[in-house]
Amino acid sequence: MSVKRIEEIKAMLQQQGKVMVNDLSQQFRVSTVSIRKDLASLEKQGLAVRFYGGAQKVELHQKGQPQTHDFYQNSQRQALAEKACEEIEEGDCIFLGSGRTCCILARKLGRFHHLTVVTNNITALQDLLHRVSKVYLIGGEVTSTDEITLFSSWEQPQAFTESIYVNKAFTSISGIDMKAGLTVNSIISTYVFRHIPTMAHQWILMADHSKYDRIAIYPVAELNKLHTVISNNFPSLYADYFRQHQIRMVLTNN
């Protein structure tokens, strides 16, 4: 990893606001793998946010104290959550995972009159109690990966998950990769995620374009465990895989 190259990429991000992997690969005459590692390093430093094919700089307001309610206004997550609502039917029993997109989805569930929700999403709990007929909270250790949203899990969730079965499980994810599969940033998250294929008839994933070709530290499942993926973009490599494995693709309007 070239320190000089990273510094130059950092300067380009500040000037242009966005950089693309292929462009940087040609400019510096190195592989796209090397560039992705550079961008991952900048992301760890809090200077960039990666998306499929590139990265954008972190705006000044993002570096300060997190604003708890700002994420509810995110149009991209709003679109993902709205499409997720279209997958829900009256009378469903669903699992709602942790994270910001799932918090937004929780606020949209008031349109249903007969819905049961099983969740480990503590941040969304208050919204669910006011909008859903029945709510079951998975207990255990409480943690956060973004200092904004809270979730719970225990090391042996089968004690809970073996006694329930839901129609559909709705989750977001930290990373999607062809080799690594679905990955998350918290080991506590893995305890629940790894049981979703056995506790849900359908696993519906909400993921924007920034999650593709991204690997978080803890693997939780292979891509073929998914039933449906809701996204604002489907890179051709992943679209081909999803079609081959009969995984539904739902495209948002955002």
Domain residue spans of the chain:
3-63, 70-251
**Taking Cα atoms as reference points, which of 197, 134, 127 lies closest to residue 161?**
197
The more confident residue out of 235 and 52 is 235
Q: Which residues contact 61 (CB under 8 A, 6 or more apart)?
A: 67
Mean pLDDT within 191-211: 93
Mean pLDDT of the chain: 87
Single-letter residue type at 97: G
pLDDT at 1 over 90: no
Check the CA dihedral 108-67-49-44 and report its sign: negative
Q: Can you give the pTM of this predicted structure?
A: 0.73
Does residue 113 surpass a pLDDT of 80?
yes
155-181 per-position pLDDT tens digit: 665 555 567 789 999 999 999 999 999
CA distances from 177 to 10, 131, 220 (A): 25, 35, 12
- Check whether 62 has a pLDDT greater than 50: no
Domains 3-63 and 70-251 share a fold: no
pLDDT at 28: 92
Give the Cα separation of 109 and 4 in Å (integer).
50
Better pLDDT: 183 or 3: 183
C-alpha radius of gyration, the chain, whole number: 19
Does pLDDT of 63 surpass 50? no
Give residue 140's region: left, alpha or beta (phi > 0; psi -120 to 50): left
Fold (topology level) of 70-251: Rossmann fold (3.40.50)
The maximal CA–CA distance of the chain, rounded, in angstroms, is: 58
Separation between Cα atoms, residue 96 and residue 164, nearest integer Å: 14
Predicted pLDDT at 155? 61
| Whether 215 contacts 235, CB under 8 Å | no
Mean pLDDT of 206-222: 93
How confident is the model over 19-31, as a mean pLDDT? 91
Alpha helix positions (H), the chain: 3-16, 21-28, 32-44, 60-63, 75-85, 100-108, 125-131, 158-161, 187-193, 196-199, 236-244
Q: Which residues of 41-72 are buried (b: 16+ CB within 10 A; e: fewer)?
A: bbeeeebbbbbbbbbebbeeeeeeeeeeeebe
Strongest mean pLDDT among 14-28, 188-202, 239-253: 239-253
| pLDDT exceeds 50 at position 15 | yes
Q: Which CATH architecture has domain 3-63?
A: Orthogonal Bundle (1.10)
- By percentage, how much of the chain surpasses pLDDT 70? 90
